[in-house]
Structure 1
Amino acid sequence: MTNVSVNTNVGAMIALQNLNKTNSQMEVTQNRINTGLKVASAKDDGATFAIAQSQRASVSSLDAVKDSLSRATSSVDVAMSAGESISDMLTQMKEKALAASDTSLDTTSRVALNTDFEALRDQLTKTMQNAKFNGINLIDGSLPGLEALANADGTSRLTVAAQNLSLGGSIVTLATTASFATSSSAGALLTTIDASINNVSAALAKMGTSSKSLEAHLTFIGKLQDSITAGIGNLVDADLAKESAKLQSLQTKQQLGVQALSIANQAPQQVLSLFK
């Protein structure tokens, strides 16, 4: 037979333990609903929290990678735009030189053509010098190339080779002082201009390939970042539908626990009836 005591109410103690347990579980569930996370801190699950934090650092680092790739893409695009303009100007210069190589042309007309030729030549240099983005010029010979971050650790990089489109260089072989005064000197420039046009086209093709590579990698980094973010969510996000159902269950248990505790607290009063 269970001892009846007014000093030690075992029933109340058990009811209180169960009620405290229910309240503790209810607090956890409410926190999950409030934060949307089943692992909001290391206290919830140290191992999972550490993994999630590591992956969050990777996601944050990938933002820097995307910025680096975007800057590199912009630099290449500016260089390509300038290169296309230079190619167009070389084509116009060829037209002027070809027209001036006509032996039937009078001196005045040839001088006018040479003036236009020299203006295009000088404009070519200005275009090349102003092809900058964020202080980077990939076609004036000031840089050997450009490197962009390729991963979150900074251990891998994408390299874009510069293309020197300066006059008198290996690509634009036309001299910085190129001009003509006679039909023969104008004709002599045609071969050089043709070679320069072909070289510029090849240089633009290389930059175009580099630009595509940068854009493709930027797209991949974006998808990788999304995948890692989704993975973090799988680790730490709470199932709110499940937590909502659990909350209702715990609320019912809490009410029953309070009722059980109330009943257990009334037990010592039954001792009074024994002394009547």
Structure 2
Amino acid sequence: MASINTNIAAMTALRSLTSTNDALTRTQDRISTGLRVNTAADNAAYWSIATTMKSDTSALSTVQDALGLGAATVDVAYTALDEAKNLVIKIKDKLVAAAQPGLDRAKIQTEITELQAQLKGMADAATLQGQNWLSVDSAAAGYNASKKIVSSIARAAGTISVQTITIDTTSMVLFDSNAAVAGVGILDAYRNATTGIRYPTQPATPAATDFTIVGINISALTDSTADLATLDGYIKGADRAITELAAGATALGAAKARIDIQQTFVSSLKDALEGGISQLVDADMNEESTRLQALQVKQQLGIQALSIANSSSQSILSLFR
């Protein structure tokens, strides 16, 4: 039936054209943003998952920064500790040389004194971002020998937690300015005059023969049996300090290796998350470009169909001529 009140063909063509225009708009949005899920309205589930994953990816970027700073702090401490070991080796060499009878020990002490001063200056300078693991004050408020480096994040049952790498710096402290313990660092702790072993608990009143590495003074020593025994204790103390310094450097080296491994893991994890986000929300540009061309053709055909449908009512006029 031909009707001038209702043009069924035009209405059908208009609905088809409107649908095509909506699809074309969505396709153009995907091409311009590169996303097929840009808002929650596009796909609520995918959008929610991707938003959480993007949040975790951002947090992992911060973790990478924290690991980098932690690695730098460890490097500073290791460099200073390794150099301290080399200086103590030089002190030990001077002490061994001083064991030779007849040498001017006062002149040798001049060199040792310079090395001792260098040890203190170097330990104090081993600071990064206000952190110094080698020259400390264990009496300071908030002091903790266990240093934590943010290493990663973990999500379980919708709850996120921060993971850390803990480094115990007790074995690598060179100087401790805590007056209550009279120094417990490798270089400022009192040692037994005979064995050179560092006292685990500092004596309230050190014996006259007890000594510290930075307090060694051989300028007044003679070739007497007692003085040579004292010198022998100094040599043993320096040797044990070298062993302790090497142990501290080993601990730092192991921590640095773990941080390096963690940095690689976090980088890979971040890449995996970004890949997962891409799979959920990114548009396939090859597919979208093909769809765009098809919709453009379909739009042109829809316009022509609507034009033909609208013109059909004009043919009714010819019936009344």
- Given that 1:15 and 1:264 are in contact with CA atoms closer than 8 Å, whether structure 2 keeps it comes out as yes
Partner of 1:96: 94
Match of 1:221, as an amino acid? V
- Given that 2:67 and 2:263 are in contact with CA atoms closer than 8 Å, whether structure 1 keeps it comes out as yes
By percentage of residues, which structure has more strand?
2
Query: Separation in 2 of the partners of 1:228 and 1:12?
Result: 50
Of 231, 244, 264, 1:186 maps to 231
Partner of 2:174: 165
By percentage of residues, which structure has more helix?
1
**Residue 239 of structure 1, CA deviation:** 0.7
Task: Give the 5 Å matches for 1:155-234.
Answer: 155-162=162-169, 163-166=172-175, 169=184, 171-172=186-187, 173=198, 174-180=212-218, 181-182=220-221, 183=223, 184=228, 185-234=230-279
Determine what percentage of the aligned residue pairs are the same residue. Answer: 33
The number of residue pairs the alignment matches comes to 271
Partner of 1:4: 2
Q: 1:132 to 1:154 in 2, by over 3 A?
A: farther
**Residue 175 of structure 1, CA deviation:** 4.0
Task: Report SS of the residue matched to 2:165.
Answer: strand
**Residue 50 of structure 1, CA deviation:** 0.9
Query: Separation in 2 of the partners of 1:56 and 1:99?
Result: 64
Question: How big is each residue's C-alpha offset from its partner over 1:203-228, in whole Å with a ceiling of 9 and x where there is no partner?
Answer: 11011001111111011101100110
Task: Report SS of the residue matched to 1:92.
Answer: helix
**Residue 244 of structure 1, CA deviation:** 0.7
Partner of 2:37: 39
Q: 1:177 to 1:171 in 2, by over 3 A?
A: closer
Question: How big is each residue's C-alpha offset from its partner over 1:214-271, in whole Å with a ceiling of 9 and x where there is no partner?
Answer: 1110111011001100110011111111111111111111111011101100111111
What TM-score do you get using the length of structure 1 for normalisation?
0.94
Structure 1, unmatched stretches of 5+, are: none
Match of 1:207, as an amino acid? L
**Residue 72 of structure 1, CA deviation:** 1.1
Give runs of ≥4 in structure 1 deviating > 3 Å. Answer: 167-176
Task: Report SS of the residue matched to 1:148.
Answer: strand
- Given that 1:179 and 1:186 are in contact with CA atoms closer than 8 Å, whether structure 2 keeps it comes out as no
Structure 2, unmatched stretches of 5+, are: 138-143, 154-159, 177-182, 188-197, 199-211
Partner of 2:145: 144
- Given that 1:72 and 1:146 are in contact with CA atoms closer than 8 Å, whether structure 2 keeps it comes out as no
**Residue 170 of structure 1, CA deviation:** 5.5
**Residue 166 of structure 1, CA deviation:** 2.3
**Residue 104 of structure 1, CA deviation:** 2.7
Task: Report SS of the residue matched to 2:136.
Answer: coil
Query: Separation in 1 of the partners of 2:80 and 2:27?
Result: 61
- Given that 1:138 and 1:145 are in contact with CA atoms closer than 8 Å, whether structure 2 keeps it comes out as no
**Residue 154 of structure 1, CA deviation:** 4.1
Match of 1:164, as an amino acid? V
Query: Separation in 2 of the partners of 1:169 and 1:189?
Result: 17
Match of 1:18, as an amino acid? S
Question: How big is each residue's C-alpha offset from its partner over 1:107-135, in whole Å with a ceiling of 9 and x where there is no partner?
Answer: xx311101111111121111111111111
Superposition RMSD in Å: 1.5
Of 35, 58, 66, 1:68 maps to 66
Task: Report SS of the residue matched to 1:150.
Answer: strand
Query: Separation in 2 of the partners of 1:94 and 1:151?
Result: 43
**Residue 159 of structure 1, CA deviation:** 0.6
